[in-house]
Amino acid sequence: MTRLVILTEIISPYRIPLFNAIAKDSGISSHIIFLSETDPSLRQWPIYKEEMQFSYQVLPSWRKRLGKFNVLLNRGVGGALSHSSPDVILCGGYNYLASWQALRWARSHRIPFLLWSESNLQDARSGHAPVELLKSEFLRNCNGFVVPGKSARRYLLAHRIDEADIFFAPNAVDNDLFDTEALAARQNEDECRQDLGLPDRYFLFAGRLVREKGVCELLAAYEALDAQLRRRIGLVFAGDGIYRRQLEEQASSIVPGVIKFAGFVQREQLAKYYAFAEMLVLPTYTDTWGLVVNEAMACGLPVIVSRTAGCAEDLVKEGWNGLLVSPRDVAGLALAMESLAERADLSDFGAHGKQKIAEYSAQEWSASTGRVVRKMAGTRD
């Protein structure tokens, strides 16, 4: 049996289904090392430990946010790796010192080291030259790469990574959970709508209310819509962040129209917002993937997604399950929202999206990752 150790930052609810799935692979013994339970400065997620059906540990850590930099230091990286005796290591990123410690440990013990890479060329968070040099050094020392889609693959090719060393494993959420919760909400529509205070019809944004998510452009695009359309369809922001107050002030002057700020929405409630929305709108400037698109499609929603989102090329087929827009293009975004809202076949878009996202499941991620891990284990000296 192949021993896989995955090193990742926090206990994200989005990753638990993936780790549960690979724990069921009869040919792989997996163990997850978390650098921290959560990041309270950015995330308000609960930690769903009762759902975790896999072997794991959380390393002792110290975290500090210095301006825009998130510093996370860990103790015991080498000891944890030695104790878990991996045949292959899969590392989720290179931003933390622990990732570099794990890479060094892997090389000294001749253990294949895979990078779980989601970076893409469209990402606006370009680094400074010294950071880019360090990144290139890290990539050069990896034995292989696991990517969620085409955009991440192109990023690695641009960094002169051999195509044969790049492997695909689809980014996924718990599709069944969102589908089931959305169906239950629709079967109890009157009570759900009343509890949540939702407009009869609405465009939906889900995510952090920060500028790079395109929230200011979304509000401006909604204001630019024809007044009759705004009377019929509202706008709901499901999320929280530093731009909330500014958005609320701007929204107060948009008449007609109904704009609701729901605040941070926990996973258990989020499917209800998807259930009754006309569509999801994600006009982000920069997103390595955009898992809210997976969630929305699992709930049967059409989507409008920025071309810079890592998922755009893989998940969105224009005129079939949604539309693509350029970031920061208010007029283009308004046109896309109006065009999709006026389509008579909008339910077909949602059905197509649901069909597509079935290919992006935790089980598919596990199967793909398992194949890569077994292949890499066979390369050990």
Question: What tens digit of pLDDT does each residue of 277-289 get?
Answer: 999 999 999 999 9
Q: Kindly report the number of other CB atoms within 10 A of residue 190's CB atom.
A: 7
Report the pLDDT value the prediction gives residue 128, as an integer from 0 to 100. 66
Q: pLDDT tens for residues 223-241?
A: 999 999 999 999 999 999 9
Report the pLDDT value the prediction gives residue 44, as an integer from 0 to 100. 74
Lay out the sheet containing 88-91: strands in order across: 56-58, 28-34, 2-8, 88-91, 113-116, 144-147, 166-168
Residue ranges per domain, the chain?
2-172+361-377, 175-357
Residue partners of 188: CB distance under 8 A and separation at least 6: none
Confidence of residue 81 (pLDDT cuts 50, 70, 90): very high
Number of residues in the chain: 381
Dihedral, 205, 207, 212, 214 alpha carbons, nearest 10 = 0
On whether the CB atoms of residues 270 and 296 are closer than 8 A, the answer is: no
Please check the confidence at residue 125 and state whether its pLDDT lies above 60: no
Mean pLDDT within 324-339:
98
Report the pLDDT value the prediction gives residue 121, as an integer from 0 to 100. 87
**DSSP string covering 96-151, please?**
SHHHHHHHHHHHHTT--EEEE----TT-S-PPPHHHHHHHHHHHHT-SEEEESSHH
Report the pLDDT value the prediction gives residue 45, as an integer from 0 to 100. 80
CATH class (in words) of the domain with range 2-172+361-377: alpha beta
Share of the chain above pLDDT 70, in %: 97
Report the pLDDT value the prediction gives residue 66, as an integer from 0 to 100. 74
Share of the chain above pLDDT 90, in %: 88
Cα radius of gyration (the chain): 21
Angle between helices 346-357 and 291-298 (to 10 degrees): 110
CATH: 3.40.50.2000, 3.50.50.60, 3.10.580.10, 3.40.50.150. Which one for 175-357? 3.40.50.2000
CA gap 357, 202 in Å, rounded: 22
On whether the CB atoms of residues 29 and 4 are closer than 8 A, the answer is: yes
CA gap 90, 114 in Å, rounded: 5
Query: Whose CA is closest to 283, among 345, 227, 206, 356?
Result: 206
User: Would 2-172+361-377 and 175-357 be classified into the same CATH topology?
Assistant: yes
H/E element, 204: strand 202-206
Higher pLDDT residue, 84 or 41? 84
Query: Whose CA is closest to 90, among 311, 373, 379, 304?
Result: 373
CA gap 255, 259 in Å, rounded: 10
CA gap 214, 124 in Å, rounded: 12
Give the end-to-end CA distance of the chain in Å, rounded to a whole number.
Answer: 17
Report the pLDDT value the prediction gives residue 65, as an integer from 0 to 100. 76
Report the pLDDT value the prediction gives residue 124, as an integer from 0 to 100. 54
What DSSP state is assigned to residue 211? G
Q: pLDDT tens for residues 131-184?
A: 788 899 999 999 999 999 999 999 999 999 999 999 999 999 999 999 999 999
Please check the confidence at residue 118 and state whether its pLDDT lies above 70: yes
CA gap 190, 341 in Å, rounded: 22
Start-end of H helices in the chain: 16-23, 77-84, 97-108, 129-140, 150-158, 175-187, 189-196, 215-224, 227-232, 244-251, 267-276, 291-298, 312-315, 330-341, 346-357, 362-377
Average model confidence (pLDDT) for the chain? 94
Measured over the CA atoms of residue 44, residue 47, residue 48 and residue 52, the dihedral's sign is: positive
